[in-house]
Structure 1
Amino acid sequence: MTETVDTGRTRRHGPIAGVRARVLTALSGDPDGTPPWVRELAEGDDAGFFPEDGAAWVVHGGMGTMVAGIRALLMQALHPGALAGVHDWSRYREDPIGRLSGTVRWVICLTYGSRAQAERETARVGRFHRRVNGTYRATDGEERTYSATDPDLVEWVHLAFTDAFLSCHQTWGGEIPGGADAYVDEWATAGTLMRVTDPPRSEAELRRRRDDFLVRGILRRDERVDDVVRFLRRPPFRGSRSMSLAYRVLFASAVATIPRRYRALLGLRRSPLPVVTATRLVLAIVERALDDGPRSQDFARERLRRLEASAPLG
């Protein structure tokens, strides 16, 4: 079924094709960007949780996501409980590409997949989260237990993710259908699926809830935060000097979009260089490379067109 996807694009060869393969390997674990879970987007018997070309489709299909992922990880690291889970259970150091592609898989399946596929993907992530537990030292010095399913932790992860993807699209993307509030409201569905209690439904509520964690003194910087920041600043890109250089630009731009109070807490400073402008160039190159073949939206649209064709008339 999925072999029928026809984007009308002519495959290029040379440097652009090489960039596409490297980016898609990082994002999906597959140099063609079509692992089984991407091809499955064309399958299913429903339209999914999010409307075609709606706010979530546009934001998550935009190039700003390349920066948003970095920003989300930086912000999430400020919660000592969330960071303890990453430190104790994640293999991000041994397999950073695997961890990245696993997160991308969850986002893509929820955004573009059928409800059945999205629910299976959520269940897959949930099974792993149920094993993630331990202890951490809170900002008041007390040792506390944590679980990846704790309401406080899942809320912070959702807020940091939504805030990052919205902010980066506002910086490097185009117009959002329905505006920023529409995106926050749509992506609240993902929060609900991940058991976030009453996820925010507007941009103002999102930012208020985010800042409340700071005001309550929950967020902090320690040696573990510094360790994550160092890793995210220069992750290993073996054999690809161009990818390493491009990533440094994206990292600097991710830092530039973080509000000053959070940058200070992370021990980061905004680059004096025009990194936001430089990122436009990097993202334009990546977009050109990705447009050289089918993307997740193309497989999702195949499912939607099939469902439309089979719908009863009248």
Structure 2
Amino acid sequence: MDRDPGLFGPHSVTWQLHSDPVMWIAGVRALYLQALHPRAVRGVTQNSDFRQDTWGRLMRTAGFVGTLTYGTTRAAERAGARVRGIHRRLDALDPATGERYRVDEPELLLWVHCAEIDSYLHVARRCGLPVSDAHADRYVDEQRAAARLVGLDPGEVPATEGELADYFEKVRPGLAATQESADVYDFLRRPPIPPLLVPLREALWTKLSAVAYGTLPPWAHALYGHPAPPPATVTRRLTAVGRILRAIPPEVRWRLPPRHILRAMDRLGPHTRPSPSRLRRDPAILGGAVHGAGGGDLSS
């Protein structure tokens, strides 16, 4: 049996955090945030059928993150190669200037990466998962291995939480609300679904999406032009949703395709079972090295 621990391994912060179901909310937050970069969001809206393939797109994104987190090194490398191959073939048009640009420009890839990592980390900490400052720095550092697989130079990617915050301060002047970001906002609040499922969307998805939107920073709410509840209210709702999602036993959640976590445990043993609670009691999580799937030791 292939006992390759993969890109991160069971003693990584990534291995623990990505097992928590609140990461689904973090993923929606990342989409809201990413849409505020005009060039990045045009790359999506001009090359994607996301309005017609709502759930397919979300599941493919979740599958990619799951493969990078829990798959073998070979599987992660192959997933990254597929994404890089798709991006190489795509470009987008700036309607204001007539310029055509590639969607795999490092600036755009870095924005997408940082918006995702900031969202995963922010939501995890805000809902009460035991993520210390050291864990947060470790997580940001680990994710440089994932950045390499989408085509970025890990040396140009934030390696600590402080560097991530500095990146957002630097890029914020270029962010803006556009027609495309408004379309993404509308889509995320009420994605098109068959009429029979509309009540389910209103009962579940709309509320989850609203919580995800509420966790954005105030400057993002200002750009969108839609106010959010007070921060304390958002935190309370996020924490409550997290408890509800965790009430579904992990063995039930993890059996949903493509079963990344169960397959990883079958490969490496039941002792590698991921859980954010391990961040409190496993000192090896801050002591190991991340090797970046052949890209060298990425530890700080």
With the length of structure 1 as denominator, give the TM-score of the two structures: 0.76
1:255-274 matches, cutoff 5 A: 255-271=213-229, 274=233
Question: 1:157 aligned to 80, 87, 112, which one?
Answer: 112
Residues 57-98 of structure 1: per-residue CA shift (max 9 Å, x gap): 122111221211111111111111111111111111001111
Q: Give secondary structure in 2 for the equivalent of 1:265.
A: helix
Residues 101, 231 of structure 1: alpha-carbon distance in 2 compared, 3 angstrom cutoff:
same
Identify which range, 234-243 or 294-303, moves more after superposition: 234-243
Identify which range, 286-295 or 125-134, moves more after superposition: 286-295
User: How far apart are 1:235 and its partner, in Å?
Assistant: 1.3
Indicate conservation of the 8 Å contact 1:70/1:251, yes or no.
yes
User: How far apart are 1:262 and its partner, in Å?
Assistant: 1.7
User: How far apart are 1:134 and its partner, in Å?
Assistant: 2.3
Q: Give secondary structure in 2 for the equivalent of 1:285.
A: helix
1:1-314 matches, cutoff 5 A: 44-137=2-95, 141-176=96-131, 178-197=134-153, 198-215=156-173, 218-238=174-194, 239-240=196-197, 241-271=199-229, 274-289=233-248, 291-293=250-252, 295=254, 296-305=260-269
Q: 2:285 is matched with which residue?
A: none
Q: Give secondary structure in 1 for the equivalent of 2:18.
A: helix
Residues 258, 294 of structure 1: alpha-carbon distance in 2 compared, 3 angstrom cutoff:
closer
Question: In 2, Cα distance between the equivalents of 1:180 and 1:260?
Answer: 21
User: How far apart are 1:290 and its partner, in Å?
Assistant: 5.1
RMSD of aligned Cα (Å): 2.2
Query: What number of residue pairs does the alignment pair up?
Result: 260
Identify which range, 247-256 or 236-245, moves more after superposition: 236-245
Amino acid at match of 1:195: G
User: How far apart are 1:253 and its partner, in Å?
Assistant: 1.8
User: How far apart are 1:270 and its partner, in Å?
Assistant: 0.8
Question: In 2, Cα distance between the equivalents of 1:183 and 1:282?
Answer: 23
Question: In 2, Cα distance between the equivalents of 1:51 and 1:175?
Answer: 19
Indicate conservation of the 8 Å contact 2:81/2:150, yes or no.
no
Amino acid at match of 1:159: C
User: How far apart are 1:45 and its partner, in Å?
Assistant: 4.6
Amino acid at match of 1:130: R
Amino acid at match of 2:92: G
Residues 114-153 of structure 1: per-residue CA shift (max 9 Å, x gap): 100001111121221112102214xxx5343221210110
User: How far apart are 1:167 and its partner, in Å?
Assistant: 0.4
User: How far apart are 1:44 and its partner, in Å?
Assistant: 3.9
Question: In 2, Cα distance between the equivalents of 1:179 and 1:108?
Answer: 20
Question: In 2, Cα distance between the equivalents of 1:173 and 1:54?
Answer: 19
Residues 262, 275 of structure 1: alpha-carbon distance in 2 compared, 3 angstrom cutoff:
closer
User: How far apart are 1:277 and its partner, in Å?
Assistant: 2.4
Q: 2:290 is matched with which residue?
A: none
Identify which range, 120-129 or 170-179, moves more after superposition: 170-179
* Unmatched runs of 5 consecutive residues or more in structure 1: 1-42, 309-314
User: How far apart are 1:282 and its partner, in Å?
Assistant: 3.1
Question: In 1, Cα distance between the equivalents of 2:203 and 2:72?
Answer: 37
| Identity, % of aligned positions | 33
Indicate conservation of the 8 Å contact 1:78/1:221, yes or no.
yes
Residues 207-239 of structure 1: per-residue CA shift (max 9 Å, x gap): 111221113xx2111212111111111113443
Question: In 2, Cα distance between the equivalents of 1:290 and 1:130?
Answer: 40
